[in-house]
């Protein structure tokens, strides 16, 4: 991102990013995570959860066929790596890396049918809130997985990165 908040490289088709207002005073801070008045996403808030990732760990590759993720980073430094396998997409076969940190919080959508991995590039646990567009179905999870070193995605994590 540039200083003005514009992406340096092309985003994967369907990805949306919105800055999250953070308000500071002498006591600390408050960060707004989701407000339907922003009209950031057409789908309502129907489910929310948070996850953590230890330093140097990668969660992924994951793909969802029925829902989008909407990530809001709470703590730490994260690289969200996207790979677009959708043949009709203008970003077909492109990799997109989005770095997110608590210094400049955003909410980011991960489109349906896009492979994504979450890599903690910082020195402390990452905490992410997710507001997926549908509730998790324990009986029929909308989650497809590949190992982090899959030859199907043209991206290599740094030496020492551990899959999770």
Domain ranges of the chain: 17-163
Residue indicated by tokens 């809130």: 129
Confidence label for 117 from pLDDT (cuts 50, 70 and 90): very high
32 contacts 85 by C-beta, under 8 angstroms: no
pLDDT digit string, tens, across residues 96-115 = 999 999 888 999 999 999 99
pLDDT in tens, 67-104: 999 999 999 999 999 999 999 999 999 999 999 998 88
Whole-number Å distance between alpha carbons of 160 and 20: 32
- Confidence check: pLDDT of 5 > 90: no
CATH classification of 17-163 is 3.30.470.10, yes or no? Answer: no
Q: How confident is the model at residue 35 (pLDDT cuts 50, 70, 90)?
A: confident
Contact partners, residue 127, CB within 8 Å, separation at least 6: 50, 51, 52, 73, 74, 75, 76
Contact assessment for residue 20 and residue 117, using Cβ atoms and an 8 Å cutoff: no
């Amino acid at each position: 991102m540039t200083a003005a908040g514009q992406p340096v490289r092309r985003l994967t088709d369907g990805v949306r990013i919105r800055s999250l207002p953070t308000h500071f005073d002498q006591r600390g801070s408050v960060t707004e995570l989701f407000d339907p008045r922003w009209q950031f996403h057409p789908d309502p808030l129907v489910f929310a959860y948070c996850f953590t990732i230890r330093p140097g760990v990668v969660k992924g590759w994951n793909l969802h066929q029925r829902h989008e993720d909407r990530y809001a980073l709470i703590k730490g430094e994260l690289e969200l790596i996207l790979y677009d396998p959708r043949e009709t997409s203008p970003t077909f076969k492109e990799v997109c890396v989005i770095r997110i940190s608590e210094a400049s919080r955003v909410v980011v959508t991960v489109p349906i049918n896009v492979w994504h991995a979450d890599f903690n590039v910082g020195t402390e646990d990452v905490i992410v809130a997710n507001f997926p567009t549908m509730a998790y179905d324990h009986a029929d999870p909308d989650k497809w997985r590949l190992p982090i070193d899959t030859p199907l995605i043209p991206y290599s994590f740094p030496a020492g990165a551990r899959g999770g």
